[in-house]
Amino acid sequence: MDFTDVLLARRAVNFFDPTSEVPEADLDRLLDIAARAPSSFNLQPWRVAVVRDAAQKATLRALAWDQPKVTEAPVILMFLADTEAWKVYSPSFERQFSYLMQSGRYKPEQREEFAAAVTSLYGATPEKSLAFAAKNAAFFAMTFMYAAADAGYVTHPMDGFDHDGVRKAFGIPEHFWIPLLLAVGGLKPGVTVAPPKWRFSADDVRYTLPD
């Protein structure tokens, strides 16, 4: 499919075929594609917990407004936004600064300069750290959804869940915010996908700055 076809094919689908599968090789390929999403300073502050186990999905469903798709979809992805990926010595910071040195863009003595830049942008307040993590994880998740649609899978992003309950039940560390859960799988046979919903036009979304 070309990109316009992918855009039109993607839907937030509620009805999954419980017999469908998402092989590990397919999931890894989609995650690799999604990782091409842009991120601030290339820090890539995202991780993904893959939930396939029936008992874990049942636990998650109870914390997600009892949505049937949580247990019907073969895979649920828990997107985790790392609010500390900007910190010195974090894996994201260390790998990115290493890359910057290898590419010749930074010298070792500029480490503190790089640290100061990312800290001022993303670590000045808890709100900035959360915004940094959540917006970049959202880029990653959206790219995954487009890649999944292109591969013939259907998805449904969910923010209707008990964030603190999920964190506790699955032992998610405090520095991760959970922006969404994503059901991934095959469309339930016999279900007709609804046509696209209305969207704001270009004129609607333009915001005119004051003179």
Label residue 6 by pLDDT band (50, 70, 90). Answer: confident
**What pLDDT shows up at residue 24?**
98
Q: List residues bridging with 79 in a β-sheet.
A: 48, 180
Domain boundaries, the chain: 3-84+138-190
Label residue 161 by pLDDT band (50, 70, 90). Answer: very high
Q: What is the mean pLDDT of the chain?
A: 96
Q: Topology of domain 3-84+138-190, per CATH? A: NADH Oxidase (3.40.109)
Asked whether the predicted pLDDT for residue 1 surpasses 80, the reply is no
Per-residue pLDDT, averaged over 104-133, amounts to 97
Give the tens place of pLDDT for each residue, 27-82: 999 999 999 999 999 999 999 999 999 999 999 999 999 999 999 999 999 999 99
DSSP annotation of 149 reads H
**What pLDDT shows up at residue 124?**
96
How far CA 170 is from CA of 60, 69, 76, 144, 174, in Å, comes to 9, 19, 13, 22, 12
**Widest distance between CA atoms in the chain:** 62
Whether 180 and 79 have beta carbons less than 8 Å apart is answered as: yes
Entry pTM: 0.95
**Residue 46: helix, strand or coil by DSSP?**
strand
Asked whether the predicted pLDDT for residue 131 surpasses 90, the reply is yes
